[in-house]
Structure 1
Amino acid sequence: MQRRRRPLATAMLLALIAPGLAPGLALAQTDREQALEARVAELERVVEQLLARQPGTGIASTPAPPPAAAPPAAAPATITPQANPGTRFTVGGMVRVDAMATHTTDGDIAKSTAGRDFYVPGSIPVGGEGVDTYLDSHAKFSRLWFDASTELDSGDKLGARFEMDFFGGALGNTAATNTYGTTVRHAYLTWNRLLIGQTWSNFMDTAALIDSVDFVGPTDALVFVRQPQIRYTHGPFAVSLENPETTVQPAGGGARVITGDNSVPDLIARYTHKGDRGHFSVAGMARQLKYEPVAGSPDSTTGFAATVSGLVKLGERTDLRYQATGGEGFGRYIGLATVQQDAMADASGNLNALGGWAAYAGLRHMFSPALRGNVFYARSQWDNDTDLTGFGVTRRVHSAHANLIWSPVPKLDLGIEAIWGERTLESGTDGELIRLHTMARYTF
C-alpha cells in the first residue's frame, strides 16, 4: 500500500515545489529552505488525506453507516381519565359466599326468594305444615365499587361513588349456572357539603349497624333503605329530600300495593353527636302517603316518624349498638320494606297511616384481634286496624341472634350465626324459623 502511494505523492509535491527548489540545490540549507521543507511535509500530509478519501483506491474504505436504530417499541395502551387533573380513583370490593341451613315450623320459604338468601321475617311461613331442614348457598352479596375524589384549585371538593352487587334477578338457576343479575347499590356524587344520588337514607344510621353474619341481621327492626336523594350536611346536622314511595295494605288483606303515586319527597333531618365513647344520633321524618286505587278516589295522608340510635363503648373490647324507631306511616323503612306497610286502605281507597315501633340492641365483644362475637335481639310491633286489614296481616316479628367471626388474616372473615325468628299474625297464629348461617368474605 505504501509503495503505491509514495510515488504519486512525491510526483505531485515535486510539481508543486520544483520552481522554488532548483536554484538552491547546491547551496547550504537556509531558513527559507527549512520553511519550504515544513511546507512540503504539510502538503504531503494533506495529499495523503485526500487520497485516502478517494473511492476505488483501495487505500481506505468509506466507513460503514451505523446500523439503523431499531424502531421504538409501541407504547403500551393507556387509560386516559376524562376527570379533572389530580383526581384520585379507588377500586375495591368483596367476594362473599353464604351458606345456610333452615328449618321452619309452618311450611317452607318459597324457593328463589329473598328469604332463602338472608333473614327476612316477613317471609316466615305461618299456618302451614312443618318441613325438613333445607340448605341454600350463593354468592349474590359479592360487590364491586369505584370511588373518585378531587380537590380543585378553587378549594371545591368533588366526589363520586358507584357500587354494585349481584342480588338481582337473572336467567340462571341453582340447577345449572347459578347466575345472578347485577344491581346498583350506590350511585351518587358529592360537591362540598352536597350529596346527590342513590345511597343510604338519611333516616338510617349506618354507624350503629350490627356486626352480623346474616346479610342484614336485625331485619325485624332495622331502618334499612337505599334511595335517590338530595342531602346537605353541615357538621353534625344533615337534611335531605328523598325518593317518595307508599306501600299500602289493601282492604281485607292481600298482597301489598306499591303505589308510585307520590308527588312530594320524603323530608328527613338528622343530628349526630360523636365522642370518645361512641356516638348518639336522632332523626325525624315527615312524608306524604298517597294512593290512587283503580276503583275509588285518590287519597293522601301524612306520615311521621322518629328514630334514635347509637354506639356506646363499654370498654376496650366491648360495645353496645342500638336503634329504636316509632311513628305512623314508616313501614317501608324497616327491614327492606319486608315487614309491614306504610298505610291501610278501606274499600273506597281512603288511607290510614299504620302506626308501630321497632327496636334492636346488640353487644359486640373482641375475644382477640382475630376473633369477635355478637349477640343481639330485634323486635317490631304494628297497630293494624283489623276492620280494614283482616286478621291475616303481621302483628309482630322478633328474632335473636348469636355469632362468631374469625379473621385469620387481614380482610378475610369466616363467620357462623345461629338465628331464631318468629312471626305472629293478628289472628294469633305464628310460625318460627331456626337457621344456621355461615359466611366467608374477602374484602379487597
Structure 2
Amino acid sequence: MSSLAIACALVLPGVVHADSEREAALEQRIAELERQIQELAAEFKAQRAAPAPAAAPAVPAGKLPIQAVSLTPGSPAGTTLRYGGFIKADFLATKTHDGQLADSAVGRALYVPSQTPVGGRAADVDYDAHAKFSRFGIGIDTVTESGSKGGAYVEMDFFGNALGNQNATNTYGVTMRHAYAYWNSWLAGQTWSNFMDVGSLPDTVDFVGPTDGVIFVRQAQVRYTSGAFSIALENPETLYIPNGGGATTASDRGAMPDLTLRYGWKGDWGTFGVGGLLRNLKVQRAGSSTTPAVDDTEFAAALTVGGKWVLGKNDDLRYQVTAGNGFSRYIGLGITGDTAIDADGDLDAIGGVAGFVGWRHAWSPTTRTNLVYARSQYDNPVSFTGGGVTESVQSLRFNVFYSPFPKVDVGAELMVGKRELENGADGRITRLQFTTKYSF
C-alpha cells in the first residue's frame, strides 16, 4: 500500500466524525430559532386579539394638559414655565448742535427729547457704548381642571444706576420692568399702562424710538379685561411747572388713581385701538418766603387712537395720535409738565397733541427698513410758565435691520431731532446708532 493511501485511511474517519458534530449543532440552533419565532408569533396574536386601550380624554381648546408632577416646586399641576429675553448692545455717536449733554445724562444712552440742549454752542461728537438694555423675564402660567387661568410674570433689565464706572467695570443695577400676577380677567402689578398701545410701536434701533409722540409708561395697576375691552386703575403722579417757570417737578399726592380704558380691533388688515385717560392732578406744597403754598386739584383727560395698518405682504404703517390736557407724563418720558401753577397757587392743566407714524418695508426675509416721524406740541400758559418751557419736540429716523438667521438682528439708525421753547429758542440733535441683538 502506498503512503498516500495509508494517510487517507488514517484521517478520513476523523473528518467524517467532525462533520457529524457540526451538523448536529447546526440543527440544534435551527430548532431553537424556530421555537423563538413561534413564541413571538403567539404573543403578537394575543396582542391583536386583546381589546384596545381606552383613549386619553381630549384636552379642551386653550387648556393645557394636566401633568402628574409640577414643573415648578410649590405650584399646582397644570403649571408651565417660560423664560425669554435678549442680549442687546448699542453703539452711539451723538452730536448736539446747541449745547452739550451732561456726562451722566440719560440722553446719552437713549433719545430723551426734553434733554436736547437749547441755546448753547455746538458740541463735538460724543461716542457711547453699552449693553444695559439687555433683559430677561420669567413667566409662570397655570390652567386648572375647571379651565381657569392664572399666573405671573417678572422681567428685568440693567438700566439701573451705575454700580461701577467706565474706567473698569461698567456695571449697572438690575431693574424691574414688569412684575404682575393675573387670574382669568384680572391683573394686578406693574406692566405697560392700559392707555398705551404696545402693538403699534415701530421697529427702531433706539430703545423707545418715536419718543417725541408716543405713549410710553410702565406702572402699577389693577386691570380688568373682557374680550377686546380693558379698564384699569393706575398709579398717579403729577408733573407740574412752578409759577414763573423752572424745572418740571413731580408731585406724588392725591387719593385718586388714574383711570384708563381701551378697546381694540384686529384682523388681516391690521390692528386699531382707542384709549381714554382720566386723571385727578394734585399738587400739595408748603409755602415759603419766596413761593406761596399750593394745595389744589384739577381733572384732566386725554384720548388716543392708533394701530398697525397692513399695506401688503412686505409693508405696514404704524401710527398713534393722542390729544387732551394733563397727559404729558404719559408722552415721551415726560416732555413737559401736566399742569402749571398760577399766581394764586391754582393748577392750570396743559393741553397738547402728540403722535407718530412709521413705515416698515421688508426687502427680503432677512432685511427690513423703517422710516419714522414723531412730534408733540403743547399749549403752555406762558403767563404762568414763562418762555423757557418746551413748546414742541420732533424727530425723524431711518434704520435698516439685517437678520442673518432667526433671533439675531444687526441694525443701524440715523436720527435727527429738534426741540423748541416757547420763547422761540431751539436745539437740534443728530445721532448715528448701531445695535446687535440676540433674542432667546
TM-score higher than 0.5:
yes
Superposed counterparts of 1:88-99, under 5 Å:
88-99=80-91
Q: Secondary structure at the match of 1:207?
A: helix
- In 2, the alpha carbon distance for the partners of 1:80 and 1:378 equals 44
SS at match of 2:169: coil
Unpaired runs of 5+ in structure 2? Answer: 1-69, 288-292
1:356-388 Cα shifts (integer Å, max 9, x gaps): 000100100000110000001000000011110
- Could you tell me whether the CA contact under 8 Å between 2:72 and 2:81 is conserved in 1? no
1:181 maps to 173
Q: How does 1:23-172 map to 2 (within 5 A)?
A: 81-172=73-164
- AA of the residue aligned to 2:85: G
Structure 1 residue 97, shift from structure 2 partner: 0.4
Q: Distance in 2 between matches of 1:265 and 1:154?
A: 34
Q: Shift of the alpha carbon at 1:175?
A: 2.0
Q: Distance in 1 between matches of 2:325 and 2:201?
A: 23
Kindly provide the amino acid, as one letter, of the partner of residue 190 in structure 1.
Y
Kindly provide the amino acid, as one letter, of the partner of residue 254 in structure 1: G
Q: Is the 8 A contact 1:292 1:349 kept in 2?
A: no
Output the CA distance in 1 between the equivalents of 2:79 and 2:248. 46
Q: Who is 1:265 aligned against?
A: 257
Q: Is the contact between residue 269 and residue 309 of structure 2 (CA under 8 Å) also seen in structure 1?
A: yes
Shift of residue 80 of structure 1? 6.0
Where 2:285 maps in the other structure, the secondary structure is: coil
Match of residue 199, structure 1, among 191, 201, 204: 191
Number of equivalences = 366
**1:293–1:349 Cα contact (<8 Å) kept:** no
Q: Which residue of 2 aligns with 1:412?
A: 408
CA contact (8 A) 2:340 2:347 kept: yes
SS at match of 1:196: strand
- SS of 2:210 mapped into structure 1: coil
Q: How far does the alpha carbon of each residue in 1:113-157 deviate from its partner, in whole angstroms, 9 at most, with x for none?
A: 210001111110000111111101111100010001000112210
**In the alignment, what sits opposite 1:438?**
434
**8 Å contact 2:92–2:127 — kept in the other structure?**
yes
Q: Using the alignment, how far apart are the partners of 1:286 and 1:400 within structure 2?
A: 30
Shift of 1:79: 8.8
Q: Which one-letter code corresponds to 2:372 in the other structure?
A: F
Return the alpha-carbon distance in structure 1 between the equivalents of residues 71 and 150 of structure 2. 21
Give the distance between the partners of 2:340 and 2:256, measured in 1 at CA: 19
1:354 & 1:390 partners in 2: Cα distance? 13
Cα contact 1:291–1:349 (8 A) shared by 2: no
Aligned to 1:385: 381
Distance across 1 between alignment mates of 2:385 and 2:153: 42
Match of 1:50 in 2: none
Q: Say which SS state the counterpart of residue 216 (structure 1) adopts.
A: coil
> How far is the alpha carbon of 1:349 from its aligned partner?
2.5
The aligned counterpart of 2:372 is 376
Percentage of pairs with the same residue: 51
| Counterpart code for 1:106 | D
* Corresponding position of 2:356: 360
Q: Distance in 1 between matches of 2:345 and 2:87?
A: 46
Matches within 5 A, 1:244-323: 244-295=236-287, 296-323=293-320
Give the secondary structure class of the aligned counterpart of 1:335.
Answer: coil
Q: Judging changes above 3 Å, is the alpha-carbon distance between structure 1 residues 127 and 270 closer, same or farther for their aligned structure 2 residues?
A: same
Deviation at 1:301, TM superposition (A): 0.2
Q: Secondary structure at the residue paired with 1:178?
A: coil
2:323 counterpart of 1:326: yes
Q: AA paired with 1:438? A: F
Give the Cα separation in 1 of the matches to 2:132 and 2:72.
32
Q: Give the whole-Å Cα distance in 1 for the aligned partners of 2:330 and 2:119.
A: 27
Q: Retained in 2: the 8 A contact 1:116–1:136?
A: yes
1:176-214 deviation digits (Å, cap 9, x = unpaired): 211111110000011001111100000000010010011
- Partner-residue secondary structure (3-state), 1:122: helix
**CA distance in structure 1 between the aligned counterparts of 2:75 and 2:344, rounded to whole angstroms:** 54
Structure 2 SS opposite 1:262: coil
What CA distance in whole angstroms lies between the structure 1 residues aligned with 2:373 and 2:310? 18
2:71 and 2:81 in contact (8 A); partners too: no
Distance (Å, rounded) in 2 between the aligned partners of 1:439 and 1:80: 35
Separation in 1, partners of 2:163, 2:268: 50
- Alignment partners' CA distance in 1, 2:149 and 2:300: 36
Which entry has the higher C-alpha Rg, 1 or 2? 1
- Output the CA distance in 2 between the equivalents of 1:379 and 1:155: 45
